[in-house]
A and B are shown apart, each in its own frame.
Chain A
Amino acid sequence: MLEESTLDPSRATVDEIVPAGAPWMKTIRKGQIFRILDLEGNQAVDTLFYSAADREERYSAVDTIQRNGNLYLTVGTKLYSTEGNVMLTIVADTCGRHDTLGGACAQESNTVRYALEKRHMHACRDNFMSAIAHDHTHGIEKRDITHNINFFMNVPVTPEGGLTFEDGISAPGKYAEMRAEMDVVCLVSNCPQLNNPCNAYNPTPVRMLVWDPS
């Protein structure tokens, strides 16, 4: 579902560019609006959320799928935690569909999916490891890394149960916007994958915007 936002980027309290292949971590307060903007198109943004008050409560892909009764994320989708609480609600979306089945690429999964020699290509889970290794505020460890959201990624499931990685349906300037329903820590890897079409074989920067409640 497509829905545009009326928020003005010049009034955002956070306006940051995440370079291609880089991690990003930020606390978003309850009531704030968080936008991820795909600057150049077809860029997968691997995203995790943790309760800022309790790292053990975190985004849960399976609770989100179960409680929304749907595999795909778009306007109106509530992002649920492992405790069954709504962490964020998607309030605007100019892309129309986001994935939460595809997970994050890793050195290890690249050895399986492509070739053992691909181990040394940069991967999302290395970004997650790097971000949490340097963060001394939240105590997030490898054990807390769970199944993420892939904003702007198109992973359709067929009625026969097949999983396909299709070319993205995103384009330059498309965005997803969500309202935080609790204080959350957002952990992002701007995906560096070069082995499949999830980034159109060309990882690019994304823009992160946060607005205070109006």
Chain B
Amino acid sequence: MTTNAAPPGEVLWEEFIPGGCHWSGVVRRGVALRLTDVEGGTNGAMLIFNHEERFERYNMPDTLKSQHTAVLHKGHVLETDMGRVIASIVEDTAGWHDTVCGVMDDATLAARYGERTYATHRNDMTRSGKEGFLKELTRLGLGRRDLHANVNWFAKVVADAGGGLHFDAAHRQPGQFVDLRFDMHALVVLSTCPHPLDPAPAWAPKPLKLTAWRCGLAPADDPCRNFRPENARAFLNTERYFAQ
């Protein structure tokens, strides 16, 4: 697949999130969201909640251990703490997405990039990933208690034998995208603040484009459903939840 392939469905909406900003929105079951790294070098820090029962959320350890992976790529699903698939990676031109490094907070950001406040820089002020998450969560009636491990879309962080972490800045390329099919009604929270281990010396956060389209539900021969037997069982849990 080329990096500029059109989404395979009727586009519902498109939105552009500037670098260093934050966003939240509801994405319904059967809708897909494409995240595109327009310029190369973006970071899409994402939390996902069940929109109907918000104390159910994407769960990093459950997702990783059931698929025997520490990173996410095409074929993987994102599971909630209730054993259900909330989203599936149906297409992916990046091939490696970080799950374990979290986001920067204000103090870490200021120590690394210096402080740019609204008073001095207006809307070019710095906004940390954690602060972005907190603003979106609080706006939605959630808050600090709902902070947990996020996915960092487009970030490749490799572990050495001793567990030391190394950020692969060259991995990100302009035009890379990842397509998420939402298998439950989801509340999506995003920050485009740089990855906490990104060694870039200067503050230059990159934008992210969101494209939503109607993709329908996972068919029986869906590659994500059949990626592993664990995934098939997680889909069964999701389908029982929506059974009526």
Asked if A60 CB lies within 8 Å of chain B CBs, one says yes
**Interfacial chain B residues near A72, Cβ < 8 Å:** 162-163
User: Which residues on A sit within 8 Å (CB–CB) of B68?
Assistant: 162-164
Is A2's beta carbon under 8 Å from chain B?
A: no
- Give me 5 other A-B pairs in contact (C-beta within 8 A), A70-B165, A72-B162, A107-B83 excluded: A56-B144, A61-B100, A83-B105, A103-B60, A125-B81
Max chain B Cβ within 10 angstroms of own Cβ: one of A66, A83, A107, A143: A66
Residues of chain B within 8 A (CB-CB) of A66 are: 101-102, 196-197
A62→B150 contact, CB < 8 A: yes
Residues of B within 8 Å of A60, CB to CB, are: 102, 147
* CA gap between A90 and B91 in the complex, in Å: 41
Expressed in whole angstroms, the Cα–Cα distance for A57 and B147 within the complex equals 10
**Given A71-B165, A142-B55, A165-B65, A62 contacting B82 (CB threshold 8 A):** no
Q: Does B233 contact A (CB under 8 A)?
A: yes
Q: Which of B92-121 contact A (CB under 8 A)?
A: 96, 100-103, 105, 107-108
For B71, the chain A residues whose CB sits under 8 A away are 161
Taking a contact as CB atoms under 8 Å apart, the answer to whether A62 and B100 are in contact is yes
Nearest CB in chain A to that of B158: its residue: A159
Report Cα–Cα, A185/B16, bound state, in Å.
Answer: 42
When A and B form their complex, which 10 residue pairs have the shortest distance between CB atoms, in order from nearest?
A103-B61, A62-B102, A108-B83, A161-B71, A72-B163, A71-B163, A157-B70, A163-B70, A56-B144, A157-B159
CB of A112 within 8 A of CB of B165, answer no
Query: Known contacts being A63-B102, A84-B105, is A112 close to B233, with CB within 8 Å?
Result: yes
Determine whether A69 belongs to the interface, using a CB cutoff of 8 Å to chain B.
yes
* A163 contacts across to B, CB distance below 8 A: 64-65, 68-70
B55 touches A161 (CB 8 A): no
Within 8 A of A (CB), among B44-82: 55, 59-62, 64-66, 68-71, 79, 81-82
Task: Kindly state whether residue A89 has any CB partner on chain B within 8 Å.
Answer: no
> Do A101 and B55 touch across chains, with their CB atoms under 8 A apart?
no
Interchain CB contact under 8 A, A101 and B158: no
Residues on A with C-beta less than 8 A from B236 are 116
User: Is A61 a contact of B149 with CB atoms below 8 Å?
Assistant: yes
Cα–Cα, bound, A46→B168 (Å):
31
Contact residues on B (Cβ < 8 Å of other chain), bracket: 35 or more
Give chain B residues whose Cβ lies under 8 Å from the Cβ of A162: 68-70
Bound CA–CA A15/B105 (angstroms): 38
Cα A82 to Cα B81 in complex, Å, equals 19
Chain A residues proximal to chain B, CB less than 8 Å: 55-57, 60-63, 65-67, 69-72, 82-84, 97, 101-104, 106-109, 111-113, 115-116, 125, 142-147, 155, 157-159, 161-165
Please report B residues at the A interface, Cβ cutoff 8 Å. Answer: 55, 59-62, 64-66, 68-71, 79, 81-84, 96, 100-103, 105, 107-108, 143-150, 158-165, 196-197, 230, 233-234, 236-237
| Given contact pairs A101-B70, A103-B59, A161-B158, A143 touches B146 in the complex (Cβ within 8 A) | yes
A109 surroundings in chain B (CB, below 8 A) = 59, 62, 65-66, 79, 81, 83
Cα of A62 to Cα of B79 in the assembled complex, Å = 18
Q: Which residue of B lies closest to A142 (CB)?
A: B55
Q: Write the nearest CB–CB distance from A193 to chain B, whole angstroms.
A: 11
Docked complex Cα distance between A207 and B102 (Å): 32
Of A67, A69, A144, A147, the residue contacting B60 (CB under 8 A) is A147
Give every chain A residue within 8 A of B143 (Cβ-Cβ).
56
Instruction: State in angstroms the CA–CA spacing of A145 and B69 once bound together.
Output: 22
Most buried by A among B65, B143, B149, B164: B65
Set of chain A residues within 8 Å of B145, measured between Cβ atoms: 55-56, 143-144
- Judge whether B62 and A103 touch: CB under 8 Å: yes
Closest residue on chain A to residue B104 by CB atoms: A66
B-chain residues with CB within 8 Å of residue A55 when the two chains form the complex: 145
Q: Which residue of B lies closest to A111 (CB)?
A: B83
Q: When chains A and B are docked, how far (Å) is the Cα of A207 from the Cα of B71?
A: 34
Q: Which residue of A lies closest to B100 (CB)?
A: A65
| A69 partner residues in chain B, CB cutoff 8 A | 164-165, 197
Q: With contacts A60-B102, A159-B159 known, is A106 near B233, CB below 8 A?
A: no
B81 touches A108 (CB 8 A): yes
- A73: nearest residue on chain B (CB-CB)? B163
